[in-house]
Structure 1
């Protein structure tokens, strides 16, 4: 989605998240028209004139210096991912430098490694959360969903997502924050902008989370699913970025200790291990397409 004055919008959204108390200010008894800090408060805390900061938010000043950005990052209490996003928005050549074609080719060694992790679901996604490769269990996690090829669309557009993701709100917040983090690497990417625009049109919940302006890469965490074939899965995941393919992310899932997930993954693996004749397996590190996924589902109760 192409936004006008992205830097100003981001600054405004972030100052709305910081209360005077969090900023170390003594709150007065008067009425405050804004939920967070006022423009003049941000300016004073960052050592800027109120007029200059107003011009930043209004888009009349788009290229602040490094020292100004560092001061604003401190006042707005931005984490490292959010700081990188701020600097990308403010860099005069960021869009051109970061809008290179996305690399989606998964090398044969990585594909073989995915299959070696046969006991653990593993997937590879690109900057738009397209699933570009998966081992058999990784593909089986999302099998049957219309948008299994894109985790953001699955989350915000699929009708089944609120049932499938048992911790939907947590996953939604982290997914939107991860999309903003991806934008800090690829600010001018038209595919990423298009995805954000599509999700904004189709999902009020996505818009609500996008307006929070959180920025975090998904490095590790938990995922609680209600799989239609094997029931509840309690998973942890770790995300790796291959040095040979920095635009891709490898996500490996493991069952949480003291849960029945390990046994349920074994059952899921047995259901997907031997596809019926005439259907392609999800092995060799390749995910099934949406049509093939539905065809590969075993009969209910099978």
Structure 2
């Protein structure tokens, strides 16, 4: 696979067909500029929003499922010429006022608004330059190992596993070598495993929802680190091997995952409903702790105790 250049993002031919409503099939990978990524995101949100939801009175037969470009321009208070340039990737550095108008008109939620600003102002920064394998901080690794009662992982910005405690290893990847995170060249990656590893896919009782959330989270994080070429490699690899990933990536959904519940079916202890929390480390380099807990006295807590004793 061709190595993509820094400050570029990746889409698949399959993804382009999916956005046009055509039959999906994994195909060759091609690169898009950051401004083109912004245009794709705007078009995907415009296609999603119905005239009724936007408060637009529609006349005659419509050829598009969502808003027409001129309708969005009017709602956002921008010229159709400027909106066309944004959607075609011909204009960069849109003002905050323009972005606010577009976000309001498109009914974007908080995560989508943050993603829109990240795409529109994707300038190189110190925190977005590293392209080498990430190095976990020793103190963070010690913290993970010191937590004995709950499954805990240290993740890199794009979900590489940098460290895990024994309970986390047994929970999410008991079929892998416990020392796998120490291999900088072949660390487990939770996104790759979710789509390409049958053991991981079988772990989730609602795989489709879990996978969609993981892809939306990856898109959100990718916009935060626009100069890290590893995201292009990761997306290209998984898109080529997984039509499901290519389909979900083409939706341009974004979500900042901080907490929630995961519904698992562990091969040794059965069903587990585990609450998770994502704790971002203060250095702002994308590394974070992922912790799992179960309500006290619940069947899931008993399941974790069984897993801990195994």
- TM-score w.r.t. structure 1 length? 0.82
Aligned ranges 1:216-231 → 2 under 5 Å: 216-231=255-270
The structure with the larger Rg is: 1
2:32 corresponds to 1:3? yes
Measured in 2, the distance between the counterparts of 1:243 and 1:69 equals: 28
2:65 corresponds to 1:26? no
The residue that corresponds to 2:276 in the other structure is 237
The residue that corresponds to 1:99 in the other structure is 128
CA contact (8 A) 1:98 1:189 kept: no
Distance 1:156 1:145, change over 3 A: farther
The residue that corresponds to 2:97 in the other structure is 67
Measured in 2, the distance between the counterparts of 1:244 and 1:60 equals: 34
Distance 1:257 1:22, change over 3 A: farther
Deviations 1:78-130 (A, max 9, x none): 22332222222222x62465531168433343333323321110111111111
Structure 1: runs of 5 or more not aligned: 272-302
Aligned counterpart for 2:145 among listed residues 90, 110, 115: 115
2:66 corresponds to 1:36? yes
- TM-score w.r.t. structure 2 length? 0.80
Measured in 2, the distance between the counterparts of 1:240 and 1:85 equals: 20
Measured in 2, the distance between the counterparts of 1:97 and 1:76 equals: 32
Measured in 1, the distance between the counterparts of 2:176 and 2:137 equals: 27
The residue that corresponds to 1:191 in the other structure is 230
How many correspondences in the alignment? 269
Deviations 1:149-208 (A, max 9, x none): 111011111234442111111111110111111112101210012111112211111122
Aligned ranges 1:1-302 → 2 under 5 Å: 1=10, 2-4=31-33, 5-28=36-59, 30-91=60-121, 94-95=123-124, 99-101=128-130, 104-141=134-171, 142-144=173-175, 149-244=188-283, 246-256=285-295, 259-271=298-310
Shift of 1:257: 5.5
Measured in 1, the distance between the counterparts of 2:126 and 2:50 equals: 35
CA contact (8 A) 1:104 1:247 kept: no
CA contact (8 A) 1:7 1:86 kept: yes
Structure 2: runs of 5 or more not aligned: 1-9, 11-30, 178-185
Over the aligned positions, Cα root-mean-square deviation in angstroms equals: 2.2
Distance 1:263 1:112, change over 3 A: same
Aligned with 1:212: secondary structure? coil
Distance 1:98 1:110, change over 3 A: closer
